[in-house]
Amino acid sequence: MQLVIYSGYKMNKEYITSVFCINKEHPELHCDGQCFLAKKLKDLDGKNKQAQENLKRIAEAEPRFQIVAVNHHLPYFIITSENLYIEKPVRDLSIFIFHPPKAV
């Protein structure tokens, strides 16, 4: 991310110097917007430190759930004696096969 900020500074150096530079009234200091660059890099460093602290806090936090091992063998199928058909199954399927009418 520092590379992106530094590249943006290099590409827009004149604009940053004229608009954002704190020392633009004092050209003898030759700041050329480096104050703006330093501020942005400091902000980025602060964000990185905060992100690292958040990750550290998350890693140190106790888990809110526990994994419990189950050693029971569950059956894959449950066999029932109930008839699951609402109607009786059809035994002769030949009557249901479509036969187009014969051409005369």
Tens digits of per-residue pLDDT, 49-78? Answer: 999 998 888 877 766 666 666 666 666 666
For the chain, the first-to-last Cα distance in angstroms comes to 83
**Distance (Å, whole) CA 9 – CA 35:** 11
Q: Residue 13: exposed, middle, or buried by beta-carbon count in 10 A (0-12, 13-18, 19+)? A: middle
pLDDT exceeds cutoff 80 at 10: yes
What token pair was written down for 92? Answer: 């002769």
pTM: 0.50
- Comparing 11-20, 33-42, 72-81, 93-102, the range with the smallest average pLDDT is 72-81
